[in-house]
Amino acid sequence: MRTERLEAKSSEHARRDGGKRDASAGPPRKGRETAFQGIPIAPGVAIGPLYDTAEMPAETPRRTIPAYAVEAERARLAEAVALSRKQLGKLKSKLALLPDEAQHELAPLLEAYVMMLGNSRLLRNARKRIESERLAAETAVLDESESIAAAILAAKDDDKGGLYRRAAEVREIARRLMRNLTATPFRSLKDVPEGSILVAEALTPADAALLDPSRIAGVATEEGGADGHTAIMLRALGIPSVLGCAGLTHDAARGVPAVLDGTTGTVVLWPGEAALERGRESLAAFARERAKLAKLRRLPAVTTDGETVELQANLEIPAELPLIAQAGAQGIGLLRTEFLFMNREDLPGEEAQLAAYTQIVEAMGDDPVTIRVLDWGGEKDMEAQNSGIAPTHGGPNPALGLRGLRLLLKRPELLEAQFAAILRVADRGNVRVLLPLVTNPAEVKQAREILERVARRLRRRGERLPERLPEVGVMIETPGAALAADAIALEADFFAIGTNDLAMYTLAVDRAEAEVSHLYDPLHPAVLRLMQFATEAALRLRMPVSVCGEMAGNPKLVPLLLGLGIRSFSMNAGSIPRVKQAVRALEIGDCARFARRVMEQSDPARIRELVTEFAEGVAAKV
């Protein structure tokens, strides 16, 4: 199991040289220059000595208990839960010392941890395992957490990052419980010397919260990925970081000089003079680039010939709000509401959803917030939904089954509760509604009727609503929706082209499947022609149209999208400065001519060549 594997690796690391090298013993003997490649997490360059830290593993051998010890074992688990709650409370008290971005990332995560220490599936089933299987508390917790994590990771979901985060949350709270059950101390980071590069097998989000950005130059770990909570925390803290650096801790020792580049994902141990010079140059270049991009925050996204372009941010969880403000986004172009339905034992009601939307809408002030209603079902499994409603999805091909708006129209109580919360918050800001997986005009019309019915009910109830109901938009993410865009446009107020799913459905490729992922190509002529058809259908009716998939955040693709007539983009907040930089170097006439040239092509490889050539020309102007 993964937890056992990690703890075995930590144990091996802890045994080597006694687990830690005595700082008073002086620097280690000079070695040869060695470079490691990992996953770039937080940009920036760090030059300094390594500080290796290993966490003493919690010894959790599989153990069974006699029948008479069941109640005592359940009591042990209850004590560990109480201690874990106390520890999380102390961590919460330290939030005020963190940067705002890190506070907003960690606070909801700690709340999720606290919820899992309540009447959660993890604890309910761990107690059952103690009783029915006669397992020791730590064995029961480990087995149940791995069972839950495996079920989460087995779900067929395009958002792999979200699945990994959910599985990691379960495993992290189980790890805390097991350490408390076995009285194993947690990692201490208070003695890391100033200017050091911290090296570890893995860091938890709670570990990251204890890091002082003013003291630690960089972070490198063997485990971890770009989408985890630890990665988000490190980005929020602004510490140059590289995760997933295989083999690093085998060669790392306390005091070894290193150069870490969080932009390229490289770590060089015992750097020679040439590597040091490259590191110093990269450090200076990063500082210049950061200062340059920072100046763009308050500048408008306007082309050289005066065409205004709207740059908005996608929001997956409220913790990302500070990053949106930092990036200078002009609103939220895609608020994914799935976070409300995760890690719950029940369905979120109208009041719970209202509270979440209010926090986001009020934080955005007058800037627009486009709320996409629940995009779930089919390949996406969800404990809350299964608890509250008898499951109806599944089948041999869930991606083509009951999901998105289809599911909501089949279960109107879900849509009505969400619409009610959205309508009640619409009076506090600039709110729009976005419908997922629409394939025909009738679905939009039916959803509008439900929205209007809910509005009438709320007004009778005395709720304060805006005089004009929020605009209703449609996600264009299937070939059917793109080809029927002229008819759907008659029922919709705006379009949002979801390029990720549009490419998947058009090319019949699941990019999460290794054997066919190389066929996934958003620059395939078929995908581009569908985007062009939908865009032109919207523009004929003078209706807003935006792109909210990964293409929107790629500066190289901005000229093509502008040339197709798109003037609104929604992307990861971190991509906004570079996209704005590209926009401000472009002229619309050039983009239109370039787009016409691209649309004449039938070979995806040739299209990529043209895109690269044009982007290089733009970069030369910046």
Token pair of 397 as six digits:
């091909």
By the 10 Å C-beta count (0-12 exposed, 13-18 middle, 19+ buried), 291 is classed as: exposed
Question: In the 8-state DSSP scheme, what is residue 450?
Answer: H
**Residues in CB range of 110: below 8 A, 6 or more apart:** 88, 91, 92
CA distance 164 to 170: 10
Three-state DSSP class for 261?
Answer: strand
Q: Phi/psi at 555 (nearest 5 deg)?
A: -55, -30
Question: In the 8-state DSSP scheme, what is residue 133?
Answer: S
**Residues in CB range of 16: below 8 A, 6 or more apart:** none
Q: What angle do CA 162, 164, 166 make, to 5 degrees?
A: 70
Alpha-carbon Rg for the chain, nearest whole angstrom, is 26
State yes or no: is 229 an active-site residue. yes
- The number of CA neighbours under 13 Å toward the Cβ of 359 is 16
Q: Phi/psi at 613 (nearest 5 deg)?
A: -60, -45
Three-state DSSP class for 120?
Answer: coil
Q: How far is CA 137 from CA 7, 61, 71, 121, 178, in A?
A: 18, 11, 11, 15, 8
State yes or no: is 548 an active-site residue. yes
Contact (Cβ atoms closer than 8 angstroms) between residue 356 and residue 326: no
Of 229, 245, 524, 591, which one is the catalytic site residue?
A: 229
CA-wise closest residue to 348 among 438, 288, 417 = 417
Contact (Cβ atoms closer than 8 angstroms) between residue 436 and residue 476: no
Of 245, 393, 548, 591, which one is the catalytic site residue?
A: 548
Amino acid identity for residue 513 in this structure? E
Which residues are designated catalytic?
A: 229, 548
